Amino acid sequence: MFKQLCAALIAISSTSALAQQTVLQQCAGEMPRADLDRSIEALIAQMTPAERIAQLQDRAPAIPRLHIPAYNWWNEGLHGIARDGFSTVFPQAIGLAATWDPELLERVGDVDSTEARAKFNPHQNAESARYAGLTIWSPNINIFRDPRWGRGQETYGEDPYLTGLLGSQFVRGIQGDGQGSSFYRKADATPKHFAVHSGPESIRDGFNSQVSLHDLADTYTPAFRALTGKDGAHADAMMCSYNAINGVPACANPLLQDHLRNQWGFDGYVVSDCDAVDEITEYLHYTADHAHGAADALKAGVDLDCGDTYVHLNEALDQHLVSLDDVNRALHRLLLARFRLGMLQPQSCSPWYAIEPSQIDTAADRQLALRAAEESMVLLKNENNLLPVDLARKRVAVIGPTADLLQVIEANYHGTARHPQTLLEGLQDRLNSGTKISYAQGAMLAEGVTVPVPRTALRTGAEADASQGLTAEYFSNTSLSGAPAKTRVDARIDFDVDRVAPIEGLNDSYSVRWTGFLQSPAPGKYRLRVGIDRCFDCNGHDAYRLWLDGKIVLEDDGKADNRPDSVSFNWPDAQLHAIRLELRHTGEDEGIRLDWEAPADAQLDEAIAAAKQSDAVLAVVGLSPDLEGEALRIKVPGFNGGDRETLALPEPQRRLLTELGKLQKPMIVVVTSGSAVALGDEAREARAILDAWYPGEEGGHALARVLTGATDPSGRLPVTIYRSAAGLPAFTDYSMARRTYRYFDGPVQYPFGFGLSYAHFFYSSPMLSSTSLKAGESMEVKATVKNTSQRDGDEVAELYLIPPAILGAPRIALQGVQRLHLKSGESREAHFILTPRQLSIVDAEGSRAVKAGRYRIFIGGAQPLDSASIGAVFEITGEQPLTP
pLDDT digits 0-9 by tens, 146-175? 999 999 999 999 999 999 999 999 999 999
CA dihedral 194, 200, 203, 206 (to 10 degrees): -30
The reply to whether 153 and 261 lie within a common domain is yes
pLDDT value of position 782: 97
Select from 760, 879, 734 the least CA-distant residue to 824. Answer: 760
Residue 323 is given by DSSP the state -
The reply to whether 241 and 354 lie within a common domain is yes
Return the axis-axis angle of helices 102-120 and 160-175, rounded to nearest 10°. Answer: 40
Select from 494, 493, 488 the least CA-distant residue to 471. Answer: 488
Q: Is residue 394 part of a domain?
A: no
pLDDT value of position 538: 67
The reply to whether 199 and 309 lie within a common domain is yes
Q: Is residue 658 part of a domain?
A: no
Spatial separation of the C-alpha atoms in residues 565 and 741, rounded to whole Å: 44
pLDDT digits 0-9 by tens, 218-249? 999 999 999 999 999 999 999 999 999 999 99
The reply to whether 96 and 232 lie within a common domain is yes
Amino acid identity at 477: N
pLDDT digits 0-9 by tens, 344-384? 999 899 999 999 999 999 999 999 999 999 999 999 999 99
pLDDT value of position 534: 77
Q: Please, what is the Cα angle at 727 between 723 and 732, to 5 degrees?
A: 120
Q: How many Cβ atoms are within 10 Å of 877's Cβ, its own excluded?
A: 12
The reply to whether 468 and 342 lie within a common domain is no
248-249 and 494-496 strand pairing: unpaired
pLDDT value of position 25: 75
Q: Which of 338, 358, 378 is the last residue of a domain?
A: 358
Helix (DSSP H) and strand (DSSP E) numbers for the chain: 20, 42
Q: How many Cβ atoms are within 10 Å of 593's Cβ, its own excluded?
A: 23
The reply to whether 336 and 471 lie within a common domain is no
DSSP string, 346-371: -GGGSTTTT--GGGSS-HHHHHHHHH
Q: Which of 572, 595, 618 is the last residue of a domain?
A: 595
Of all residues in the chain, the percent with pLDDT exceeding 90 is 90
Detail the DSSP E strand segments found in 129-227: 135-136, 188-189, 208-209
pLDDT value of position 49: 98
pLDDT value of position 127: 78
The reply to whether 109 and 225 lie within a common domain is yes
Pick the catalytic residue from 110, 375, 498, 628. Answer: 628
Residue 795 has pLDDT above 50, yes or no: yes
Contact 266, 238 (CB under 8 A): yes
- In the predicted model, what is the mean pLDDT of the chain? 94
Q: Is residue 568 part of a domain?
A: yes
Q: For residue 628, indicate whether it is catalytic.
A: yes
Phi-psi region of 604 (alpha: psi -120 to 50; beta: other; left: phi over 0): alpha
Q: The domain spanning residue 288 has which CATH number?
A: 3.20.20.300
Q: For residue 795, indicate whether it is catalytic.
A: no
Phi-psi region of 766 (alpha: psi -120 to 50; beta: other; left: phi over 0): beta
Q: Please, what is the Cα angle at 19 between 13 and 21, to 5 degrees?
A: 115
All residues at 6 or more sequence positions from 28 whose CB lies less than 8 Å from its CB, including other chains: 36, 183, 339, 340, 344, 345, 349
pLDDT value of position 867: 63
Judging by beta carbons within 10 Å of its beta carbon (0-12, 13-18, 19+), is residue 509 exposed, middle or buried?
A: middle
Of 11-20, 377-386, 614-623, where does mean pLDDT reach its minimum? 11-20
The reply to whether 185 and 310 lie within a common domain is yes
Rg of the Cα atoms in the chain? 28
pTM exceeding the 0.85 threshold for the entire prediction: yes
Mean per-residue pLDDT, 252-273: 97
Q: Is residue 520 part of a domain?
A: yes
Q: Which of 595, 624, 644 is the last residue of a domain?
A: 595
Question: CA of 437: how far to CAs of 242, 256, 683, 704, 706, in Å?
Answer: 47, 55, 22, 12, 17
Residue 808 has pLDDT above 80, yes or no: yes
Higher pLDDT, 127 or 517: 517
Q: Is residue 725 part of a domain?
A: no
Question: CA of 176: how far to CAs of 79, 228, 357, in Å?
Answer: 17, 15, 18
Return the axis-axis angle of helices 600-612 and 651-661, rounded to nearest 10°. Answer: 30
pLDDT digits 0-9 by tens, 523-571? 999 999 999 887 766 666 889 999 999 999 999 988 866 778 999 999 9
User: Residue 495: in which H helix or E strand, if any?
Assistant: strand 494-496
Structural domains counted in the chain: 3
The reply to whether 220 and 330 lie within a common domain is yes
pLDDT digits 0-9 by tens, 716-767? 999 999 999 998 999 999 999 999 999 999 999 999 999 999 999 999 999 9
Q: The domain spanning residue 473 has which CATH number?
A: 2.60.120.260
Mean per-residue pLDDT, 437-463: 97
pLDDT digits 0-9 by tens, 379-412? 999 999 999 999 999 999 999 999 999 999 999 9
Mean per-residue pLDDT, 713-718: 98
The reply to whether 463 and 324 lie within a common domain is no
Residue 773 is given by DSSP the state E
All residues at 6 or more sequence positions from 693 whose CB lies less than 8 Å from its CB, including other chains: 91, 92, 94, 95, 98, 153, 376, 377, 672, 673, 674
The reply to whether 260 and 146 lie within a common domain is yes
Q: Is residue 833 part of a domain?
A: yes
pLDDT value of position 868: 61
Return the axis-axis angle of helices 363-376 and 699-708, rounded to nearest 10°. Answer: 50
Mean per-residue pLDDT, 788-811: 97
Residue 287 has pLDDT above 60, yes or no: yes
Contact 121, 60 (CB under 8 A): no
Confidence grade of residue 24 (pLDDT, cut at 50, 70, 90): low
pLDDT value of position 265: 96
The reply to whether 353 and 472 lie within a common domain is no
Q: Is residue 525 part of a domain?
A: yes
Q: Is residue 822 part of a domain?
A: yes
Pick the catalytic residue from 101, 106, 158, 273. Answer: 273
Contact 179, 173 (CB under 8 A): no
Domain interval for residue 549: 451-595
Residue 95 has pLDDT above 60, yes or no: yes
All residues at 6 or more sequence positions from 708 whose CB lies less than 8 Å from its CB, including other chains: 388, 389, 390, 391, 431, 432
Residue 8 has pLDDT above 50, yes or no: no
Spatial separation of the C-alpha atoms in residues 88 and 116, rounded to whole Å: 11
